[in-house]
Amino acid sequence: MKIKNICCIGAGYVGGPTMAVIAQKNPKIKVTVVDINKDRIDLWNSKDLSKLPIFEPGLDIVVLQTRGKNLFFSTEIDKNIANSEMIFISVNTPTKTYGDGKGMAADLRYVELCARKIAEVSKSDKIVVEKSTLPVMTAATIKNILDETGSGVNFEILSNPEFLAEGTAMRDLEIPDRVLIGGGDDKYGKAAVKSLVDIYKAWVPMDNILTTNLWSSELSKLVANAFLAQRISSINSISELCESTGADVDEVAKAIGMDSRIGSKFLKTSVGFGGSCFQKDILNLVYIAKSLGLNNVAEYWHQVIRFNNHQRERFAKKILKSLYNSVAGKKICFLGWSFKKDTNDTRESAAIYIADMLLEEMAKICVYDPKVGKKQIYFDIDYLNSRTKEENKNLLSVSNDPYSACKKSHAIAIITEWDEFIHYDWNKIYISMNKPAFVFDGRNILDKEKLEKIGFIYKGIGKA
Protein backbone atom coordinates (compact mmCIF):
# COMPACT_ATOMS: atom_id res chain seq x y z
CA MET A 1 0.00 0.00 0.00
CA LYS A 2 1.38 3.43 -0.92
CA ILE A 3 1.19 5.63 2.14
CA LYS A 4 0.14 9.23 1.59
CA ASN A 5 -1.35 10.02 4.99
CA ILE A 6 -0.18 8.95 8.43
CA CYS A 7 -2.09 9.50 11.65
CA CYS A 8 -0.31 9.04 14.98
CA ILE A 9 -2.48 8.70 18.08
CA GLY A 10 -0.61 10.14 21.07
CA ALA A 11 1.33 13.43 20.95
CA GLY A 12 3.75 12.60 23.77
CA TYR A 13 7.49 12.12 24.15
CA VAL A 14 7.45 9.46 21.45
CA GLY A 15 4.63 10.48 19.11
CA GLY A 16 5.76 14.12 18.76
CA PRO A 17 9.48 13.69 17.96
CA THR A 18 9.05 10.46 15.98
CA MET A 19 6.42 11.89 13.68
CA ALA A 20 8.34 15.15 13.29
CA VAL A 21 11.29 13.18 11.91
CA ILE A 22 9.13 10.92 9.71
CA ALA A 23 7.52 14.07 8.26
CA GLN A 24 10.88 15.76 7.74
CA LYS A 25 12.28 12.77 5.87
CA ASN A 26 9.12 12.08 3.84
CA PRO A 27 7.94 15.48 2.61
CA LYS A 28 5.31 13.88 0.35
CA ILE A 29 3.54 12.15 3.23
CA LYS A 30 1.09 14.14 5.33
CA VAL A 31 1.62 13.29 9.00
CA THR A 32 -0.97 14.25 11.61
CA VAL A 33 -0.42 13.69 15.31
CA VAL A 34 -3.67 13.55 17.28
CA ASP A 35 -4.35 13.54 21.00
CA ILE A 36 -7.29 13.76 23.38
CA ASN A 37 -5.35 16.29 25.43
CA LYS A 38 -6.25 19.65 23.90
CA ASP A 39 -3.74 21.60 26.02
CA ARG A 40 -0.94 19.41 24.75
CA ILE A 41 -2.01 19.85 21.12
CA ASP A 42 -2.28 23.63 21.61
CA LEU A 43 1.29 23.66 22.92
CA TRP A 44 2.50 21.63 19.92
CA ASN A 45 0.87 24.30 17.74
CA SER A 46 2.22 27.27 19.69
CA LYS A 47 4.05 29.90 17.64
CA ASP A 48 6.68 30.27 20.33
CA LEU A 49 8.75 27.09 19.91
CA SER A 50 10.08 27.31 23.46
CA LYS A 51 6.53 26.40 24.53
CA LEU A 52 6.48 22.95 22.86
CA PRO A 53 5.10 20.51 25.46
CA ILE A 54 8.33 18.57 25.67
CA PHE A 55 11.88 19.80 25.85
CA GLU A 56 14.17 17.84 23.55
CA PRO A 57 17.33 19.37 22.06
CA GLY A 58 16.92 19.95 18.29
CA LEU A 59 13.17 19.18 18.23
CA ASP A 60 12.18 22.83 17.72
CA ILE A 61 14.19 23.04 14.49
CA VAL A 62 12.50 19.99 12.95
CA VAL A 63 9.07 21.22 14.05
CA LEU A 64 9.82 24.61 12.51
CA GLN A 65 10.78 22.97 9.21
CA THR A 66 7.74 20.71 8.94
CA ARG A 67 4.79 22.05 10.95
CA GLY A 68 2.04 23.42 8.74
CA LYS A 69 3.71 21.88 5.67
CA ASN A 70 3.32 18.13 6.09
CA LEU A 71 3.25 17.85 9.89
CA PHE A 72 0.09 18.71 11.80
CA PHE A 73 -1.09 18.46 15.40
CA SER A 74 -4.81 18.07 15.95
CA THR A 75 -7.58 16.96 18.31
CA GLU A 76 -9.70 15.77 15.39
CA ILE A 77 -9.04 12.12 15.99
CA ASP A 78 -11.85 10.45 14.01
CA LYS A 79 -11.35 12.43 10.82
CA ASN A 80 -7.60 11.93 10.77
CA ILE A 81 -7.83 8.20 11.41
CA ALA A 82 -10.42 7.85 8.63
CA ASN A 83 -8.25 9.80 6.17
CA SER A 84 -5.02 7.87 6.78
CA GLU A 85 -3.73 4.62 5.35
CA MET A 86 -1.32 4.06 8.25
CA ILE A 87 -2.07 4.67 11.93
CA PHE A 88 0.54 4.65 14.67
CA ILE A 89 -0.58 3.97 18.21
CA SER A 90 1.77 5.90 20.46
CA VAL A 91 -0.22 6.28 23.65
CA ASN A 92 0.99 5.69 27.19
CA THR A 93 1.13 2.17 28.59
CA PRO A 94 1.81 2.72 32.30
CA THR A 95 1.96 0.09 35.02
CA LYS A 96 -1.54 -0.93 36.16
CA THR A 97 -2.58 0.72 39.41
CA TYR A 98 -5.69 -1.41 39.97
CA GLY A 99 -7.10 -4.91 39.70
CA ASP A 100 -5.36 -8.01 38.41
CA GLY A 101 -1.66 -7.39 37.80
CA LYS A 102 -1.73 -4.17 39.87
CA GLY A 103 1.77 -2.71 40.23
CA MET A 104 3.21 -5.04 37.58
CA ALA A 105 1.25 -5.52 34.36
CA ALA A 106 0.98 -2.87 31.65
CA ASP A 107 -2.27 -0.93 31.64
CA LEU A 108 -3.54 -1.42 28.11
CA ARG A 109 -6.76 0.53 28.41
CA TYR A 110 -5.53 3.47 26.31
CA VAL A 111 -4.30 1.12 23.59
CA GLU A 112 -7.61 -0.70 23.60
CA LEU A 113 -9.50 2.60 23.30
CA CYS A 114 -7.37 3.45 20.26
CA ALA A 115 -8.12 0.08 18.66
CA ARG A 116 -11.86 0.56 19.25
CA LYS A 117 -11.73 4.07 17.82
CA ILE A 118 -9.85 2.90 14.72
CA ALA A 119 -12.38 0.09 14.20
CA GLU A 120 -15.28 2.50 14.65
CA VAL A 121 -14.22 5.18 12.19
CA SER A 122 -12.34 3.24 9.48
CA LYS A 123 -14.05 2.97 6.13
CA SER A 124 -10.99 1.71 4.21
CA ASP A 125 -8.14 -0.75 4.82
CA LYS A 126 -5.57 0.36 7.38
CA ILE A 127 -2.12 -0.57 8.56
CA VAL A 128 -2.04 -0.20 12.33
CA VAL A 129 1.42 0.22 13.82
CA GLU A 130 2.16 -0.44 17.48
CA LYS A 131 4.64 2.29 18.46
CA SER A 132 3.83 2.09 22.18
CA THR A 133 5.76 -0.49 24.19
CA LEU A 134 3.47 -3.46 24.68
CA PRO A 135 3.43 -6.93 26.24
CA VAL A 136 4.32 -9.71 23.84
CA MET A 137 1.28 -10.90 21.84
CA THR A 138 -0.71 -7.66 22.21
CA ALA A 139 -0.97 -7.49 18.41
CA ALA A 140 -3.32 -10.48 18.59
CA THR A 141 -5.61 -8.58 20.99
CA ILE A 142 -5.58 -5.46 18.83
CA LYS A 143 -6.34 -7.52 15.72
CA ASN A 144 -9.22 -9.18 17.54
CA ILE A 145 -10.78 -5.90 18.60
CA LEU A 146 -10.36 -4.42 15.13
CA ASP A 147 -11.83 -7.41 13.33
CA GLU A 148 -14.71 -7.90 15.78
CA THR A 149 -15.69 -4.22 16.00
CA GLY A 150 -14.75 -3.00 12.51
CA SER A 151 -17.04 -2.80 9.54
CA GLY A 152 -15.36 -5.40 7.37
CA VAL A 153 -12.30 -3.42 6.30
CA ASN A 154 -8.91 -5.15 6.47
CA PHE A 155 -6.49 -4.28 9.26
CA GLU A 156 -2.84 -5.29 9.20
CA ILE A 157 -0.98 -4.96 12.50
CA LEU A 158 2.72 -4.16 12.69
CA SER A 159 4.98 -3.81 15.69
CA ASN A 160 7.50 -0.97 15.40
CA PRO A 161 8.83 -0.28 18.91
CA GLU A 162 10.69 2.92 19.58
CA PHE A 163 14.21 2.90 21.02
CA LEU A 164 14.85 6.64 21.37
CA ALA A 165 16.14 7.91 24.69
CA GLU A 166 14.98 11.25 26.03
CA GLY A 167 17.52 14.04 25.79
CA THR A 168 19.06 12.45 22.69
CA ALA A 169 15.80 11.64 20.90
CA MET A 170 16.49 13.65 17.75
CA ARG A 171 19.89 12.07 17.23
CA ASP A 172 18.51 8.61 18.02
CA LEU A 173 15.76 9.11 15.43
CA GLU A 174 18.11 10.56 12.84
CA ILE A 175 20.73 7.78 13.12
CA PRO A 176 19.02 4.84 14.83
CA ASP A 177 21.11 1.78 15.72
CA ARG A 178 18.26 -0.16 14.19
CA VAL A 179 14.62 0.21 13.23
CA LEU A 180 12.66 -2.86 14.22
CA ILE A 181 9.53 -3.89 12.32
CA GLY A 182 7.54 -7.00 13.19
CA GLY A 183 4.75 -8.21 10.97
CA GLY A 184 2.72 -11.18 9.78
CA ASP A 185 4.31 -13.46 7.22
CA ASP A 186 1.42 -13.92 4.77
CA LYS A 187 1.30 -11.74 1.67
CA TYR A 188 -0.74 -9.01 3.41
CA GLY A 189 1.63 -8.92 6.37
CA LYS A 190 4.64 -8.72 4.09
CA ALA A 191 3.09 -5.91 2.05
CA ALA A 192 2.36 -3.95 5.22
CA VAL A 193 5.94 -4.43 6.42
CA LYS A 194 7.19 -3.17 3.05
CA SER A 195 5.04 -0.02 3.33
CA LEU A 196 6.62 0.83 6.66
CA VAL A 197 10.13 -0.10 5.50
CA ASP A 198 9.65 2.33 2.58
CA ILE A 199 8.98 5.16 5.03
CA TYR A 200 12.14 4.51 7.09
CA LYS A 201 14.19 3.80 3.96
CA ALA A 202 13.97 7.52 3.21
CA TRP A 203 16.84 8.04 5.67
CA VAL A 204 17.79 4.79 7.44
CA PRO A 205 20.19 2.42 5.62
CA MET A 206 18.52 -0.90 4.78
CA ASP A 207 21.13 -2.78 6.86
CA ASN A 208 19.75 -1.02 9.93
CA ILE A 209 16.12 -1.94 9.25
CA LEU A 210 15.41 -5.26 10.88
CA THR A 211 12.22 -7.16 10.12
CA THR A 212 11.02 -9.99 12.36
CA ASN A 213 7.81 -11.75 13.31
CA LEU A 214 5.37 -9.79 15.47
CA TRP A 215 6.13 -11.49 18.77
CA SER A 216 9.92 -11.15 18.45
CA SER A 217 9.52 -7.46 17.80
CA GLU A 218 7.18 -6.86 20.74
CA LEU A 219 9.36 -8.88 23.10
CA SER A 220 12.65 -7.36 21.90
CA LYS A 221 11.54 -3.93 23.07
CA LEU A 222 10.95 -5.13 26.64
CA VAL A 223 14.18 -7.11 26.59
CA ALA A 224 16.26 -4.18 25.28
CA ASN A 225 15.10 -2.00 28.18
CA ALA A 226 15.61 -4.82 30.66
CA PHE A 227 19.21 -5.36 29.50
CA LEU A 228 20.00 -1.64 29.64
CA ALA A 229 18.55 -1.26 33.13
CA GLN A 230 20.31 -4.44 34.24
CA ARG A 231 23.69 -2.88 33.41
CA ILE A 232 22.86 0.14 35.56
CA SER A 233 21.81 -2.00 38.53
CA SER A 234 24.94 -4.10 38.02
CA ILE A 235 27.29 -1.12 38.19
CA ASN A 236 25.28 0.43 41.03
CA SER A 237 25.67 -2.79 43.02
CA ILE A 238 29.42 -2.54 42.47
CA SER A 239 29.33 1.09 43.66
CA GLU A 240 28.29 -0.16 47.08
CA LEU A 241 31.12 -2.66 47.09
CA CYS A 242 33.55 0.09 46.08
CA GLU A 243 32.50 2.28 48.98
CA SER A 244 33.37 -0.52 51.39
CA THR A 245 36.68 -1.45 49.82
CA GLY A 246 38.34 1.73 48.57
CA ALA A 247 38.00 0.79 44.91
CA ASP A 248 36.66 3.59 42.69
CA VAL A 249 33.54 2.67 40.72
CA ASP A 250 34.37 4.99 37.80
CA GLU A 251 37.77 3.34 37.46
CA VAL A 252 36.19 -0.12 37.64
CA ALA A 253 33.59 0.87 35.00
CA LYS A 254 36.34 2.13 32.71
CA ALA A 255 38.44 -0.97 33.21
CA ILE A 256 35.64 -3.42 32.46
CA GLY A 257 34.12 -1.26 29.72
CA MET A 258 37.34 -1.41 27.72
CA ASP A 259 36.69 -5.11 27.24
CA SER A 260 35.00 -5.02 23.84
CA ARG A 261 32.77 -7.91 24.92
CA ILE A 262 31.36 -5.75 27.73
CA GLY A 263 31.47 -2.29 26.13
CA SER A 264 31.54 1.07 27.86
CA LYS A 265 27.97 2.32 27.53
CA PHE A 266 25.41 2.25 30.34
CA LEU A 267 28.01 1.70 33.02
CA LYS A 268 27.64 5.09 34.68
CA THR A 269 26.81 4.70 38.32
CA SER A 270 23.98 6.87 39.61
CA VAL A 271 21.35 7.57 42.25
CA GLY A 272 19.29 4.93 40.42
CA PHE A 273 17.69 4.88 37.01
CA GLY A 274 14.44 6.73 36.47
CA GLY A 275 12.24 7.52 33.51
CA SER A 276 8.83 6.34 32.50
CA CYS A 277 9.93 3.07 30.96
CA PHE A 278 12.71 1.01 32.54
CA GLN A 279 10.77 0.14 35.69
CA LYS A 280 7.43 -0.32 33.96
CA ASP A 281 8.84 -2.46 31.17
CA ILE A 282 10.80 -4.73 33.51
CA LEU A 283 7.79 -5.13 35.79
CA ASN A 284 5.80 -6.02 32.71
CA LEU A 285 8.43 -8.61 31.73
CA VAL A 286 8.34 -10.03 35.26
CA TYR A 287 4.55 -10.20 35.11
CA ILE A 288 4.56 -11.98 31.75
CA ALA A 289 7.14 -14.51 32.99
CA LYS A 290 5.13 -15.13 36.17
CA SER A 291 1.91 -15.53 34.20
CA LEU A 292 3.64 -18.22 32.15
CA GLY A 293 4.81 -19.97 35.33
CA LEU A 294 8.44 -19.01 34.65
CA ASN A 295 9.25 -17.97 38.21
CA ASN A 296 13.03 -18.17 37.88
CA VAL A 297 12.92 -15.84 34.90
CA ALA A 298 10.63 -13.47 36.81
CA GLU A 299 12.86 -13.46 39.91
CA TYR A 300 16.00 -12.86 37.87
CA TRP A 301 14.65 -9.66 36.31
CA HIS A 302 12.78 -8.46 39.39
CA GLN A 303 16.10 -8.09 41.18
CA VAL A 304 17.08 -5.30 38.74
CA ILE A 305 14.20 -3.21 40.10
CA ARG A 306 14.77 -4.17 43.70
CA PHE A 307 18.37 -3.09 43.46
CA ASN A 308 17.38 0.22 41.91
CA ASN A 309 15.08 0.93 44.85
CA HIS A 310 17.91 -0.01 47.18
CA GLN A 311 20.30 2.40 45.43
CA ARG A 312 17.93 5.36 45.87
CA GLU A 313 17.41 4.48 49.51
CA ARG A 314 21.15 4.02 50.03
CA PHE A 315 21.78 7.53 48.70
CA ALA A 316 19.19 9.08 51.03
CA LYS A 317 20.61 7.13 53.98
CA LYS A 318 24.13 8.25 53.12
CA ILE A 319 23.01 11.87 53.37
CA LEU A 320 21.25 11.20 56.65
CA LYS A 321 24.20 9.34 58.16
CA SER A 322 26.76 11.93 57.06
CA LEU A 323 24.70 14.74 58.56
CA TYR A 324 25.10 13.12 61.99
CA ASN A 325 21.91 11.01 61.66
CA SER A 326 19.66 14.02 61.84
CA VAL A 327 18.44 16.17 58.99
CA ALA A 328 15.37 17.58 60.76
CA GLY A 329 15.20 21.29 60.07
CA LYS A 330 18.39 21.21 57.99
CA LYS A 331 18.31 22.69 54.52
CA ILE A 332 19.36 20.30 51.76
CA CYS A 333 19.63 21.62 48.23
CA PHE A 334 18.69 19.30 45.37
CA LEU A 335 20.39 20.19 42.10
CA GLY A 336 18.27 18.47 39.45
CA TRP A 337 14.83 16.93 39.52
CA SER A 338 14.41 15.45 35.99
CA PHE A 339 15.30 11.77 35.62
CA LYS A 340 18.30 12.60 33.41
CA LYS A 341 19.82 15.69 31.83
CA ASP A 342 18.42 17.46 28.76
CA THR A 343 14.80 16.56 29.43
CA ASN A 344 11.98 18.11 31.44
CA ASP A 345 10.52 14.64 32.11
CA THR A 346 10.37 13.71 35.79
CA ARG A 347 8.52 10.41 35.58
CA GLU A 348 9.98 7.93 38.08
CA SER A 349 12.90 10.27 38.71
CA ALA A 350 15.09 9.10 41.60
CA ALA A 351 14.79 12.68 42.91
CA ILE A 352 11.17 12.09 43.93
CA TYR A 353 11.94 9.05 46.06
CA ILE A 354 15.12 10.45 47.61
CA ALA A 355 13.28 13.67 48.50
CA ASP A 356 10.43 11.65 49.98
CA MET A 357 12.76 9.74 52.31
CA LEU A 358 14.48 12.92 53.49
CA LEU A 359 11.18 14.76 53.95
CA GLU A 360 10.08 11.88 56.19
CA GLU A 361 13.11 12.83 58.30
CA MET A 362 11.80 16.43 58.34
CA ALA A 363 14.61 17.82 56.18
CA LYS A 364 13.98 21.17 54.48
CA ILE A 365 14.58 20.55 50.80
CA CYS A 366 15.11 23.28 48.24
CA VAL A 367 15.08 22.14 44.60
CA TYR A 368 16.58 23.76 41.54
CA ASP A 369 16.25 22.22 38.08
CA PRO A 370 17.05 24.06 34.83
CA LYS A 371 13.95 22.72 33.05
CA VAL A 372 11.48 21.54 35.68
CA GLY A 373 9.20 24.06 37.38
CA LYS A 374 7.50 24.35 40.74
CA LYS A 375 4.14 22.98 39.63
CA GLN A 376 5.60 19.71 38.38
CA ILE A 377 7.83 19.24 41.43
CA TYR A 378 4.92 19.64 43.86
CA PHE A 379 2.78 17.41 41.68
CA ASP A 380 5.43 14.67 41.84
CA ILE A 381 5.93 14.81 45.58
CA ASP A 382 2.23 15.20 46.42
CA TYR A 383 1.41 12.24 44.16
CA LEU A 384 3.22 9.87 46.56
CA ASN A 385 0.69 10.73 49.26
CA SER A 386 3.30 10.33 51.99
CA ARG A 387 2.37 13.66 53.59
CA THR A 388 -0.35 16.25 53.14
CA LYS A 389 0.12 18.93 50.49
CA GLU A 390 0.43 21.44 53.29
CA GLU A 391 3.27 19.48 54.92
CA ASN A 392 5.08 19.20 51.59
CA LYS A 393 4.72 22.96 51.07
CA ASN A 394 6.24 23.63 54.47
CA LEU A 395 9.18 21.30 53.99
CA LEU A 396 9.95 21.61 50.28
CA SER A 397 10.65 24.75 48.31
CA VAL A 398 11.61 25.36 44.71
CA SER A 399 14.03 27.98 43.50
CA ASN A 400 14.64 29.25 39.99
CA ASP A 401 18.18 30.24 40.86
CA PRO A 402 20.81 27.64 41.85
CA TYR A 403 22.80 30.03 44.02
CA SER A 404 19.83 30.92 46.22
CA ALA A 405 18.84 27.25 46.31
CA CYS A 406 22.24 26.41 47.81
CA LYS A 407 22.39 29.41 50.19
CA LYS A 408 22.41 28.48 53.90
CA SER A 409 22.10 24.80 53.08
CA HIS A 410 23.97 22.11 55.00
CA ALA A 411 24.32 19.86 52.01
CA ILE A 412 23.92 19.78 48.25
CA ALA A 413 22.73 16.64 46.49
CA ILE A 414 23.44 16.34 42.78
CA ILE A 415 20.54 14.30 41.49
CA THR A 416 20.66 14.95 37.74
CA GLU A 417 23.79 15.29 35.61
CA TRP A 418 22.93 18.67 34.03
CA ASP A 419 26.10 20.09 32.43
CA GLU A 420 25.58 23.55 33.92
CA PHE A 421 26.21 22.24 37.47
CA ILE A 422 29.85 21.62 36.55
CA HIS A 423 30.35 25.28 35.61
CA TYR A 424 28.95 26.90 38.75
CA ASP A 425 31.10 29.15 40.91
CA TRP A 426 31.60 26.58 43.67
CA ASN A 427 33.65 29.04 45.76
CA LYS A 428 30.68 31.38 45.89
CA ILE A 429 28.36 28.52 46.80
CA TYR A 430 30.68 27.33 49.59
CA ILE A 431 30.82 30.76 51.19
CA SER A 432 27.03 30.97 51.32
CA MET A 433 26.51 27.57 52.99
CA ASN A 434 26.30 26.30 56.56
CA LYS A 435 29.47 24.54 57.68
CA PRO A 436 30.53 21.79 57.41
CA ALA A 437 29.32 21.98 53.81
CA PHE A 438 28.62 18.63 52.14
CA VAL A 439 28.26 17.75 48.46
CA PHE A 440 26.65 14.38 47.71
CA ASP A 441 27.39 13.84 44.05
CA GLY A 442 24.81 11.32 42.88
CA ARG A 443 26.23 11.39 39.36
CA ASN A 444 29.98 11.78 40.00
CA ILE A 445 30.13 14.81 37.70
CA LEU A 446 32.03 17.25 39.92
CA ASP A 447 35.76 17.50 40.53
CA LYS A 448 36.33 15.95 43.97
CA GLU A 449 39.80 17.45 44.47
CA LYS A 450 38.69 20.95 43.48
CA LEU A 451 35.72 20.85 45.85
CA GLU A 452 37.77 19.48 48.74
CA LYS A 453 40.32 22.24 48.20
CA ILE A 454 37.54 24.81 48.56
CA GLY A 455 36.54 23.17 51.85
CA PHE A 456 33.58 20.97 50.91
CA ILE A 457 33.14 17.47 52.29
CA TYR A 458 32.67 15.65 49.00
CA LYS A 459 30.91 12.30 48.77
CA GLY A 460 30.58 10.64 45.38
CA ILE A 461 28.86 7.37 44.60
CA GLY A 462 31.12 4.33 44.71
CA LYS A 463 34.04 6.30 46.07
CA ALA A 464 35.65 5.69 49.44
Nearer to ligand UGA, 8 or 267 (CB): 267
Catalytic hit among 56, 130, 156, 162? 162
336 binds ligand UGA (CB under 6 A): no
Using only C-alpha atoms, what is the Rg of the chain? 24
Tell whether residue 269 is a contact of ligand NAD (CB under 6 A).
Answer: no
Q: Does 315 bind ligand UGA (CB under 6 A)?
A: no
Interior angle at CA 23, CA 274 and CA 75, nearest 5? 75
Measured from each CB, the residue nearest to ligand NAD is 12
Binding span for ligand NAD by CB under 6 A among 64-72, 108-116, 246-254, 359-367: 108-116
Residue 409 found at the interface with ligand NAD (CB under 6 A): no
Among this protein's residues, is 277 annotated catalytic? Answer: yes
- 275 contacts ligand UGA (rule: CB under 6 A): yes
- Site for ligand UGA (CB under 6 A): which residue of 110, 203, 266, 430? 266
Q: Does 276 bind ligand NAD (CB under 6 A)?
A: yes
Alpha helices in 258-408 (DSSP H): 278-291, 295-322, 350-360, 374-383, 389-395, 402-406
Cβ-in-10-Å burial (0-12, 13-18, 19+) of 365 comes to buried
Do residues 409 and 380 lie in contact, with contact meaning Cβ atoms separated by under 8 Å? no
Which listed option, ligand NAD, ligand UGA, none, makes contact with residue 9 (CB within 5 to 8 Å by class)? ligand NAD
- Which helix (H) or strand (E) segment is 367 a member of? strand 364-368
Rounded to 10°, the helix 214-245/138-149 angle is 140
Cα atoms found within 13 Å of the Cα of residue 314, Cβ hemisphere only: 21
**Dist CA 334 CA 440 (whole Å):** 10
Interface stretch with ligand UGA, choices 152-160, 185-193, 266-274, 316-324 (CB under 6 A): 266-274
Does residue 163 belong to the site contacting ligand UGA (CB under 6 A)? yes
Choose the binding region for ligand UGA from 173-181, 265-273, 294-302, 403-411 (rule: CB under 6 A): 265-273
Rounded Cα distance, 378 and 395, in Å: 11
Catalytic residue flag (residue 190): no
DSSP 75: S
Choice from 232, 352, 355, 395 touching ligand UGA (CB under 6 A): 232
In this complex, which beta carbon is closest to ligand NAD, that of residue 281 or of residue 356? Answer: 281
Residues designated as active site: 162, 221, 277
